[in-house]
């Protein structure tokens, strides 16, 4: 196997077992990176060869332990893909659910980034003699951080927070050679999306999931849902050297969905 664009790089992916996180792990590994796939349970598809880590991103000790387990003592790439979605309006959301949403989506992104920084500086330093290079944090925002899906109040709020944290950390850590970006997926075909379509808030109950899936597909200018691999492609680009000047931005990947004024297509 020839050396990929990310050969010699070390990456850690939180939520590495989830629909999109798993695809990210596979892609980064295929590009030659050493990939730590971190999630609540040990994970890892055999053909992708990521190194499994047990990680609860809401628990600071767990985050410290996961970072300590990176034996290379450097991190070139951190992907904060861990996330949960509570399918409720603000009124129906309990304080516990609200706090849980923020704990995973926002605090988890904060904790993993905070404790990864020393190893990311080490990665920048390690490459200083070889023409230089940057380290890259890729957060998971969402198109829901820009416009609201019905019945996803806490989720929308957490993604807005991730967007703001992305910009803040890009400003603070850019001078150290650390880039921070967020990918903002639209409708990606994952178990999370399926759950959303099955829920009451989506309006699927009244007309059938199949009809709803078809209607939402057709409203996209590209007439399709995204795949986890589509998102992994963008994450791969942001992680690598071709994106050396990209930082502090929110990268929307949604098949053109948010480019249009929403309406039925006659």
Partner 1 sequence: MNAAGQLRGKRALVTGGRQGIGRGIVEAFLAEGAEVLACGRGGRGDLPAACTWHQTDVADAAAVEALAVATGPLDVLVNNAGVQLEKTVADSSDDDWDLVMGVNARGVFNTCRAFIPRMRKPASIINIGSISGRMADPRMALYNASKAFVHGLTRSIAVDHGPDIRCNAICPGWIETGMLEAAFELAADPGRARQDALARHPVRRFGQPADIAAMAVWLASDAAAFATGQMFTVDGGLTAASPLRPGLS
Instruction: Please select the residue that binds partner 1; options are 4, 8, 150, 160, rule is CB under 8 A.
Output: 150
Instruction: Please select the residue that binds partner 1; options are 125, 128, 209, 259, rule is CB under 8 A.
Output: 259
Nearest residue to 50 via CA among 36, 62, 69: 36
**CA dist., res. 102 & res. 110, Å (int):** 10
Using the contact rule CB under 8 A, the part of the chain among 7-15, 62-70, 143-151, 171-179 near partner 1 is 143-151
Instruction: Please select the residue that binds partner 1; options are 207, 208, 210, 214, rule is CB under 8 A.
Output: 207
Nearest residue to 19 via CA among 238, 232, 254: 232
Instruction: Please select the residue that binds partner 1; options are 94, 194, 214, 260, rule is CB under 8 A.
Output: 260
**CA dist., res. 31 & res. 48, Å (int):** 11
CB-CB contact of 53 with 67 (8 Å): no
184's enclosing H/E stretch is strand 178-185
Q: How far is the CB of 205 from partner 1 (least distance, A)?
A: 9
Instruction: Please select the residue that binds partner 1; options are 148, 164, 246, 253, rule is CB under 8 A.
Output: 148
Q: Could you say which of 143, 155, 187, 225 is catalytic? A: 155
Contacts of 161 (CB under 8 A, 6+ apart): 102, 105, 106
Size of the site for partner 1 (CB under 8 A): 25
Binding of residue 130 to partner 1 (CB under 8 A): no
Catalytic-residue membership of 245:
no
Binding of residue 201 to partner 1 (CB under 8 A): yes
Instruction: Please select the residue that binds partner 1; options are 4, 133, 203, 248, rule is CB under 8 A.
Output: 203
Contacts of 126 (CB under 8 A, 6+ apart): 74
Instruction: Supply 228's token pair.
Output: 């986890």
Nearer to partner 1, 93 or 247 (CB): 93
**Mask of contacts with partner 1, 213-232, x by CB under 8 A?**
--xx--x-------------
Nearer to partner 1, 49 or 219 (CB): 219
CB-CB contact of 138 with 183 (8 Å): yes
Binding of residue 85 to partner 1 (CB under 8 A): no
Nearest residue to 103 via CA among 40, 174, 168, 43: 40
- Please give the backbone phi and psi of residue 132, each rounded to the nearest 5 degrees, phi first: 80, 170
CB-CB contact of 157 with 83 (8 Å): no
Residues that bind partner 1 (CB under 8 A): 143-144, 147-151, 201-203, 206-207, 215-216, 219, 257-266
Could you list the active site residues? 155
């Amino acid at each position: 196997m020839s050396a990929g664009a990310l050969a010699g790089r070390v990456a850690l992916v939180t939520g590495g077992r989830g629909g999109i996180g798993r695809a990210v792990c596979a892609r980064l590994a295929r590009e030659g990176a050493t990939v730590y796939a971190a999630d609540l349970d040990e994970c890892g598809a055999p053909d992708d060869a990521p190194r499994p880590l047990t990680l609860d991103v809401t628990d600071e000790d767990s985050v410290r332990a996961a970072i300590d387990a990176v034996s290379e003592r450097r991190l070139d790439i951190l992907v904060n893909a861990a996330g949960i979605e509570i399918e409720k309006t603000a009124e129906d959301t309990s304080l516990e659910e609200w706090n849980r949403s923020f704990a995973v989506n926002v605090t988890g992104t904060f904790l993993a980034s905070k404790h990864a920084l020393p190893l990311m500086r080490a990665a920048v330093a390690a490459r200083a003699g070889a023409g230089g290079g940057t380290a890259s944090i890729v957060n998971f925002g969402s198109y829901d951080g820009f416009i609201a899906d019905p019945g996803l109040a806490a989720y929308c709020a957490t993604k807005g927070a991730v967007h703001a944290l992305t910009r803040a950390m890009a400003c603070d850590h850019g001078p150290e050679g650390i880039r921070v970006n967020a990918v903002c997926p639209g409708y990606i075909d994952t178990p999370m999306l399926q759950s959303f379509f099955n829920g009451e808030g989506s309006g699927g109950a009244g007309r059938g999931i199949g009809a709803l899936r078809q209607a939402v597909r057709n409203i996209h200018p590209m007439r399709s849902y995204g795949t986890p691999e589509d998102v992994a492609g963008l994450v791969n680009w942001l992680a690598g050297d071709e994106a050396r000047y990209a930082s502090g931005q929110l990268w929307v990947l949604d098949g053109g969905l948010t480019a249009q004024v929403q309406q039925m297509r006659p």
